[in-house]
Each structure stands twice: as C-alpha cells, then as structure tokens.
Amino acid sequence: MNAIIVSAVFGVLMMFASFLVNNKNVYRYLAIIGLSVLLLANILETYAIWSIKFDSFLQLSFERFGLFFNSIAIAATLFYVLLSGKDIVRVGNYSAEYFVLIFFILCGVSLITSYNSLLMLFLGIEIISIPLYILTGSDKKNLKSNEAALKYFLMGAFSTGLMLMGIALSYGAVGNFGLEGRGVVAFGGSMRVSFLEVAGLLLLFISMSFKASAAPFHFWTPDVYEGAPSVFTSFMATIVKATVFIGMIKLLEARTGIFGPTWQIILPLMIVLTLAIGNITAVFQQSVKRMLAYSSIAQAGFMLFALWSANDMGREGILLYSVAYTLATVGIFAVLVKMKDYTFDGFNGLAAKQPLVAASVAVFVLSLAGIPLTAGFFAKYFMLASAIKSGAGVWLLVVAVVFAAVSVYYYFRLIQAMYFKEGEAEMFEQPTNSFKGMLAIFAVLLIVLGIAPSLLFNYLYF
Amino acid sequence: MSQLVFLVPLFPLIGFLITGLGRNYLSKTATGYIASGSILGAFIVSCLLFSQVYGSGSGQVFTLFHFIQTEGFSIPFAFQVDQLSSLFLLIITGIGFLIHVYSTSYMHEEDAHHFARFFAYMNLFVFSMLLLVLGANYVIMFIGWEGVGLCSYLLIGYWFKNGDYNYAAKKAFIMNRIGDLGFLLAVFWMLAKLGTATYGEVFSQVATLSTFDITAITMLLFVGAMGKSAQIPLYTWLPDAMAGPTPVSALIHAATMVTAGIYMIARSNVLYTLAPFSQGFVAMIGLATAIFAATIALRQNDIKKVLAYSTVSQLGYMFLGLGVGAYTGAVFHVMTHAFFKALLFLGAGSVIHALHHEQDIRKMGGLKKQLPITHITFLLGCIAIAGIPPFSGFFSKDEILMATYAHQPWMYFIAMGGALMTAFYMFRLYSLTFLGSYRGHTDAAHPIHESPLSMTFPLMVLAVLSVVGGFIGIPAVFAENAHWLEHFLAPVFQPSNELVQHTHLDHATEYLLMGISTVLVLIMILLAVKLFGKDDVDVKKDDTGIKKWMANKWYIDELYQAVIIQPLHIFSVLLKNLVEKNIIDGAVNGVGRLVHYGARQFRLIQSGQVGNYLLFMILSIVVFILIWFNDATILRALNNIF
C-alpha cells in the first residue's frame, strides 16, 4: 500500500509546489526526490520491513509479484526522469503538472498491480488513462498534439465503456466484484460458468487489449504515439503498457478456463495479428518515432505470450520483458527527442559525431530486436519458452520468430543510418555528459541482463 | 607435483600471448628467449611428470573445471597423465624446444614482428598439441586436434605473400577438415551411444556396444587420423605443406602433429582391438601408404619433398603397426621417427640456409666439406631411418615388421620392400646432397658456410638421440626383458593384450628375417651411393615411363582435381546460377517484396479517422463474439488443418 499512498501524496505535493516555486529545475529535483522516496517505500514493503496498512475490505492484495513490478515501474520512471527530465519541463509552461500527472499514473500502476476486485481494476485503469490524455495534449500549441489527445480520449472513452459493460455483466453473473469469486457458479441445479461471466470477461479483456495496443484494437496507437510529445510517448509506450499486461495477467491467469475453446482461438489470433501488423507496418515507416510506435505494437505481440503461458516462467518473462523493453525504448526516445529530424535520414552519421550516444542506441535497438547478449534476447526467449511449457503450438512460435526476424530490418535501419551512412545528424543541443552517462548505464544494464537474466529473478522469489 | 600438470600447456599459452600481442614491441632476441623459454619450462615440468609416472607406475586424471554440462552427459576439462601421454609430452616439449632454439637462427632474416608472429604460432601449436595429448576425453583431444590444424595452416601460409603457399595452406586445412568431420562424427556417435567421451569410461563401457557401433566409431576416428596423419587418400596435403619454414616442417609435419593420429589410435587401442575389421583396415591403409609414398619419394628432387614423402611412408608403417596390434612398436616408432625425422628436416634446413634457399638436390652435391656437422648428423639420421642396427630406426621398424610377419607373412614382404626403398631414396638424397661435386652456382659474395651453433646444437642432440634412442626397446630375441618401453607402456595396452593373444615368432625365424633385411638394406645403400655419389652423376635427363609417373606423384593431385574438385566446382557453379540466383534469391526477394507490399496495404487501414477506427473495433468485437459462439466447431476445423 506504500506505493499507492506515497505516490498520491507526492502528486499532491507537486501540485502545491507549482504555486510556491517558479523554477523548473526545482520541480525536476523534487520529482527525482519524490520518485526515490517512492521507490524506497515500495522496496521497504516488498521486503516486509515497513508498510502503511489499513483494511481495504479485500479490494486490494499485495503480493511479491505486483510489488516487484511496482519497483520496476518506479525505478524505470526514475531513470526516465533522470534521462529526459529536462525535456519534460521543456514541453510547455506547466512543468510541475507533468510530474504531478506522472505521480498519479504511478498511483494507478500500483493499483493495477494489487487489485483484488474489478472495481479497483477499473479505478486503476482510469487513474492511468486520464493523466495520459492530458499528457498527450500537453503541447498545447501543437495541433498534432491536440488531435492526438482528442483521438485518444474519444477511443479511450469507448474502451472505458466496454470495460464498464464487461464489469457489469460479470457482476450480474456472480453478484460480486471480487477477483476470487469469478468462474463457476451454481446455475439451475448444476455447477457451470455463467454465460454473462464469459461475455463480461471477454469485454474486459478486449478493453484491456485496447490499452495494451494489441491488434485488432491497436488503431489509436500510431496516431497518438506520433502526435504526443515524444517524451510522453516514451512513458506511455513503456511503463504504462507493461502495467496493463500485469493487470491482464492478474485478471486472466487463473481464469482462462472460463473461456473454454474460445481462448485457444482468439489469443493466438490476436498474437499473430499484433505481430504481423506491428512488424510489417513498421517496415514501411520513414519516421523513427512512428516506427517505434509500430514496434511497440509488435512488442505487445510478444508480451501476449505471457497470457497464453499463464505460468511462473511467463510471469518472470513479462518482468524481464518490461525491463528490457522499457530501458531500450526510453533510451531511444531520449535520443530521439534531441534530434532535429525524426526520420531515419536524420540519424545519418550520428556515430561519427556522437560515438557514445550512437553505441548506446545500437545496443537499445539490438535489444529490441532480440539479439543475444542483450536483455531483449532472453525476454523473447522466456516468452516463447514459457508458451512451449504451456503447450503452445510450434507454428505459433515459428510465426513469432519469423516476425522477430522481420523486425531486424527496421531496427537495423537505425544502426545502418548511424554507422554506415554519411550525413549531418543534427541535434537541438549537445548532449551533456550526465545524459551520455545515463544512456551508457542503460546500455550496460541491458547487456548485463542479457548475460545474466537471473540477476533480476533472484530478487523475485527467495 | 602432478597438480602442476596444468602448467605444461600454460607455459606455451603464455608464450603465445606475449609474443603474439607484443610482436610490435619485442626485439627478436627477447622473442626468441620468451618463446624457447616457455617450451623449456613445459619440458621441465613434463620431465617431472614423467619421472613421477615412471616411479608410481600408474596414471592419474586431473579435472580442472567442468567444460560442458548438460542433462545427457558432462564433459570435464580434464587432463590424463599416464605412461602414453607423459611419453608424448617429453617428445613434444623436448623436440619442440630444440626446434625453437634452431628457429631463432633460421628465421633471423625476418622482420621483428614477423619473427614474433612465427614464434607466437609455434607456441600456440605446442599448446594445442599438448592439449591434444593431455586431454582425458575425446572432446578435449578434439580441441587440440583442431588447434594443431589451425596452427599448421597458419604456419604453412606463414609467407602469405606467396600465392602458392597460401594454396598449400588451404589445401592442408581443407584436407584436415575432411578428416576432422570423421573424428567429430565418431565423438557424437560415442556420446549418443555411451553418453560419455571420457577415455576411462568409454573403454570400460565399450564392450556393451554392438560390433556395428564399435566398427563405425573406429572407422570414423580413423578418417580423422587419415587427415591428420596424412594417409591414403588424404595424404596429399603433407608434401605441399613443405611450403612452410623448415623448422615448421620438422616440428609439425614430421615430429609431432602428424603423429596425432597414431597417438589417438594407440589411446583408443581397446576400441580397435574390439573392432577387427577396422583394425585390419588400418593395417591395409598403413601398408598401402607406406609403399606408395616410398615409390614417390624415389623420384623427387626437392630435398624437403623427399623427406615429406618419407614421412608419409613412415607414418604408414606406424599405422601398419597399430593395425597388426603392435601398439608399443607404433609408439616406439613415433618416438624414434621424431628424433631422426626432426634431425633430417633440421639438417635439410641447415643445407637450405647455407645455400640461400636452394632446395633442389640436383643443384647441390659435395657439401660434406663445407657443412661438416650438418653432413655427419644428416648421415646418422639417414642410417637411422634406413634401419641399420644398432641405430634407433632399426629397433622400432623391426618391431613393427616382426609383428606384421606374425600377423600375415605376405604383408611383411611388401612392407620389407618399402623399407628397402626407404634406404634407397634416403641415400640417393644423401649422395646427391653431400657426395660428388657441387653442381649449383657459386656466389663469391655469399660463400657456403656451416650454420651457427644455435642451429647445429639441436642437430647434434638429435643425432645422439637418433643413434641411441633405440636402446629403450631392445627386442626379446637379443635379451630377455630388455624392452624397457614395452614394460613402461604395458598398463596402457594391457586391456587390448588381454583380449588378443599375439603369437610370438621363434627366435630362429626372427634372426633370419633380421639378418636378411639388414643385408638387403646395406645393398640398397651401397647401390644408391654408387649410382648417385659419383662426381659426374647425370641429373639432367628426363624421367621416362614409370619413373615419370613416380616423379609426378602418380598424378594423384591431378586425379583428385579431375574426379573430386572439378565435379564439385561444376556442381557449385550450377547451384549458384540455378538454385541460388533463381530459387533462393527469388524466395528471399519475394518475401521482402511481400512484406513491403503488406506494409503498404496495412498502412492504408491507418486512415487517421476515429470513426473508421471505432468501426474496425466494433467489427472485431463482433467477430470475437461469433468465434465464441462457434468455438468448438472452429477449433475442430483448425486442428484438422494444422
């Protein structure tokens, strides 16, 4: 419960800070301090040293898996603010509010990792979504940003409707919101799954797939990701998306049996569609930002495997995937924000001008593509291996691997541009040493996890 | 003490790293000292190990770390120090050290960094060879096996600016790779059937395998030996390998690497004893190679080529010995051959050095005055290889021949013929080089002079060894229980000797055969000296008839070119033009085009209209619900398709 309360408190504190101080750097430092405290508080709870406790009437339950993911999300946000903090305060005039919204999103994240009833899930999803609508439109004078925010809001509202509908149907089936109470009920003398329950969970699953940008509910993703200020795209494409997957796993892991054979058709269908649309469309993009938007859809396709496998290995895999994918994507976006030209050609010749930055980006890209010795390789490996363990068809894995191969094409175009093409890769400002240092730390972390992924898991179960 | 076994390969490895990495900074003197010193260190440790094995009379296995560990099997990185490996350690490091010392003078004309490169390769070679010999399982042996092949390649192509040398290096490497494939398959077979590649475990469990499995494993192992030890049909790389610097020929292509196959089969003697077919095959190939290479050596005019074919021929004898069950004899011959062949090669190197890289014996002659030490030592080497008692070659070759006679008399007579040819071509070589009158051109600026002490010293040491080396294996016919080597190696070959009782010749027959062979060898020597030791020997006339075939190595290279390389070449051109360009490229580009086309189409769905997006989502939900309603039917249909 630490994370929920501390993040909300810091969100409110930051709001007041915006009245009291008028210095963007102070906001940034406050946010960094706040995130550090938040991380510390969450770790204290993870190791059962100190935590705020009050009765949530079984609405919330805190387990190691969720708490550990909280730490990952908070640490990733901290890294993100350390790396891109200066770019966040530069987006518009209301710098403190951006951090406020990020704290509130983290509050939603902590809710989603610990919900024990469908109402709390709904609350968490909404607490995440509404600040995101605002962040998407935060570049007020930019029409594209406004358009993206409106599109996101419209479709988000639609998805919220679906979710509420699903919760209502599900409630109708068993008469309570509790996560434990779902499934088999006494029905006309025999025990079976209520029709309403299936319909309700299906709608819930669909609306969460929307948030996770899994095909065929991904349509908002490219437009919103491209229109939103790049720093915030980075945040919503990584930490938020991973959180939604955690929420889905919590919801469905033990309950896929409710769907019966339907599950065995729609999930592989979604996996294949997501991989195909994400990867194939990314091939054609000229803008790195839009390519990354499609790549985030493609990565979601891999994360869906964790839903299929629904075992411990899948849980470990999704954590590793979150870390690998978040580090790499946040890193690339941080560099992208500083580029004058967002197209692939804008990166031409970066290696000659900024060798360390280019090398780090190369590592990020390699990790996203899943090349061995990077964390991305083991992330993909765990996804596929856990699916095999749960008896997935080999054809599904072959499809996944083929599309991973397709992804190499567009990821490596970035390396090609940076290293093998002549050009003047121009940046708004020379990256500072601390920025380069952070990038290098990201890259090193990816490689360390690529060599010894167990470093992460050793702290999960002990 | 034996815990120090890891030092043996470690010294050359360190030497390799220092000379290799520091090649641009080290002076030639420093390089020479480091490289030779590292081998000397390994030699000293080897001596200690040897004395310990000799004292205790038993071997030991030392596991350094786990190399490969899987569910099915585990392969430790372990060294086995026993009679066989400690003997080979002495040969490798001892002769290796002498050749390193020799090389410091021989290679002195090279630039400092090329000089260091040479010694780095040499040290790496010794390291790999030690790994090969020390490994306690076939996998570690294979690491060394590959390592020596690599070093051989690097050293044959040491003068890499010469295209022919590069070609020779590639040829050696590819021929060896063909053999290595056999070796690898044998190891896989072993792992599949026994789940282990460790010598001790394999040998104790092998009896549980079917005859077919044992035969297949041993035949495949022998394919590896054919490549590495230059036997028919994979021998053609060895004569070409003479492109490398002469010390390389002495160390790698005469004394050590090429005997790896003999070591491997001697190590696996239990397997071969249990596979009579394979063992017979080894004997036949060995015999055929021995005689075939000898006929070619009769008509070669390059001093190193003669020695190269002689090496192939002698290796054939060793395989013959292994094939007829004379394991001790084969190992004995490896040792004496290492002495006298290294001596002969280094002597040849001394001659080549003195004549400023002249290798054609037709342009030599009468060198015994100018090169007295080289001459005497070379002569001793020739006598040793020809097999005159009491020189070392006599004892080892005699042991193999006697075992052959006991096995199959007709094989003995063929082998005897080869031995006579050996005596003839060696003394043809000797006479053309050192006797008669000088036929080359004289250069006043560069007079012919004896090599420096660092080159003649190894010659003298090896000459002494060539002369007396045979006394460790005096046959029972002269003195009972005087065969020291047989007693020493007995524990290694004991399992085989228990399985098969070898018949022993009675002493009268043995005396008779020995006497006849010695007399015939002497006659051949006198004949060769008479024919080629004259002052006015005619070397200009072209060979005709069968002699021409011998001089042209029976046109085997041309045969391989026509029968294997050309068809392969045609086939690969066919693949390139037909399959590669049309089918493979077509498929690859087709997939690329398909993805590109798909990308364009998918992009169109992304219209930017929220209304469209919502419509697509609603349609998808409807489809999902339809799937839900018909899930059982759809799943059945899908299962039928996949």
Q: Note whether A257 contacts B: Cβ–Cβ < 8 A.
A: no
Q: Is the pLDDT of residue B579 over 90?
A: no
Tallying the residues shown for chain B, one arrives at: 642
Tokens of B276: 């009579």
pLDDT in tens, B436-468: 888 777 776 677 788 888 888 889 999 999 988
Least Cα distance to A227 among A147, A311, A328, A304 occurs for A147
Q: Name which of A180, A183, A182 is nearest A193 in CA terms.
A: A183
Overall pTM > 0.80 = no
pLDDT band at residue A255, thresholds of 50, 70 and 90?
A: confident
State whether A259 and B628 contact (CB < 8 Å). Answer: yes
Sign of the C-alpha dihedral, residues B338, B341, B344, B349?
A: negative
Question: Per-residue pLDDT tens for B379-433?
Answer: 999 999 988 888 888 989 988 998 898 888 899 999 999 999 999 999 999 988 8
Looking at chain A, how many residues does it have? Answer: 462
* Chain A residues touching residue B616 (CB < 8 angstroms): 216, 219
DSSP string, A415-444: HIIIIIS-----BSSPPPHHHHHHHHHHHH
CA atoms within 13 A on the CB side of B446: 8
Q: Which two tokens stand for residue B474?
A: 């005096």
Residues B222, B227, B232, CA angle at the centre, nearest 5°? 80
Of B606, B614, B624, the CB nearest to A155: B614
pLDDT at position B72 over 90? no
* CA end-to-end distance (rounded Å), chain A: 21
Tell me the residue type at B487. H
Give the position of tokens 């009972």.
Answer: B480
* Residue B404 neighbours by CB distance under 10 Å: 28
In a domain, A25, yes or no: no
Asked if pLDDT for residue B494 goes beyond 90, the answer is: no
Q: 3-class DSSP state for residue A216?
A: coil
Given a cut of 70, whether residue B322 has pLDDT beyond it is yes
CB crowding A20-51: b at 16 or more within 10 Å, else e: eeeebebbbebbeebbebbbebbbebbeeeeb
- pLDDT class for B65, splitting at 50, 70, 90? confident
Dihedral class, residue B554 (left if φ above 0, else alpha if ψ from -120 to 50, else beta): left
By DSSP bridging, strand A184-187 and strand B74-81 are unpaired
CB atoms B616 and A219 under 8 Å: yes
Mean of the per-residue pLDDT values of chain B: 87
Q: Is B634 on the interface with A (CB under 8 A)?
A: yes
- Could you tell me if residue A389 is inside a domain? yes
**Which of B612, B616, B624 is the closest to A202 by Cβ?**
B624
* Amino acid in position A23: N
Asked whether residue A305 is domain-assigned, the answer is yes
> What is the spatial distance between Cα A134 and Cα B113, in angstroms, rounded to a whole number?
67
Within a domain: A142: no
SS3 content of chain B, % helix, strand, coil (to 5): 75, 5, 20
Across the interface, do A151 and B610 touch by the CB < 8 Å criterion? Answer: yes
Give a yes or no: residue A35 inside a domain. no
Residue B398, both tokens: 């005699």
pLDDT of residue A462: 47
Q: What percent of chain A has pLDDT over 90?
A: 64
- CA gap B162, B112 in Å, rounded: 19
Does residue A333 lie within any of the structural domains? yes
Q: From the list A210, A223, A266, which residue is nearest B627 (CB)?
A: A266
Across-strand partners of A187?
Answer: A190
- Name the pLDDT band for A322 (thresholds 50, 70, 90): very high
Residue B194 has pLDDT above 80, yes or no: yes
The domain of A317 spans 259-462
Q: How confident is residue B586, by pLDDT bands cut at 50, 70 and 90? A: confident
Residue A270 domain-assigned (yes or no): yes
Q: Tell me, what's the pLDDT at B133?
A: 92
Which DSSP letter does residue B64 get?
Answer: E
Q: What is the pLDDT of residues A148-172, one digit of tens each?
A: 999 999 999 999 999 999 999 999 8
* Per-residue pLDDT, B444: 64
- Counting residues of chain B whose pLDDT is more than 70, the rounded percentage is 98
Q: How far is B538 from A130, CA to CA, in rounded Å?
A: 105
DSSP B535-563: TT----SPP-HHHHHHHTGGGHHHHHIII
Q: With CA atoms as reference, report the closest residue to A132 among A28, A34, A239.
A: A239
* pLDDT in the model for residue A365: 95
pLDDT in tens, A344-375: 999 998 998 899 999 999 999 999 999 988 99
- Nearest Cα residue to A237 out of A307, A290, A187: A290
The 10 Å Cβ neighbour count of residue B559 is: 13
CA dihedral A288, A291, A295, A296 (to 10 degrees): 80
Each as own residue / partner, the long-range contacts of residues B38-41 (CB below 8 Å, 24 or more positions apart, any chain) are: B38/B11, B38/B12, B38/B14, B38/B123, B39/B11, B39/B12, B39/B15, B39/B93, B39/B96, B39/B97, B39/B100, B39/B123, B39/B126, B40/B97, B41/B7, B41/B11
Q: CA of A235, closest CA in chain B: separation in Å?
A: 22
CB atoms within 10 A of CB A85: 22
Rg (CA), chain A: 21
CA-CA distance, A43 to A71, in Å (whole number)?
Answer: 7
For the record, the structure tokens of A42 come out as: 């969450």
Evaluate whether A263 touches A324 at the Cβ level (below 8 Å).
no
- ipTM score assigned to the predicted complex: 0.92
Total domains in the fold of chain A? 1
With tokens 């190696």, the residue in question is B489
Distance CA B256, CA B338 (A): 7
How would DSSP label each residue in B65-108? EEEEE-SS-EEEEEEEESHHHHHHHHHHHHHHHHHHHHHHHHTT
Of the listed ranges A279-283, A419-423, B149-153, B357-361, the least confidently predicted one is B357-361
A321 within domain boundaries? yes
Report the residue of A219, A269, A291 to disrupt the B interface, i.e. the one with the largest count of B CBs within 10 Å. Answer: A219
Test mutation, A213, A284, A409, chain B, max B CBs within 10 A: A284
- Cα separation, B194 vs B72, whole angstroms: 10
Under 8 Å CB-to-CB from A167, ≥6 apart: which residues? A118, A119, A122, A177, A200, A204
Contacts of A199 in chain B (CB under 8 A): 625
A461 — contact with chain B (CB < 8 Å)?
no
The SS3 of residue A104 is helix
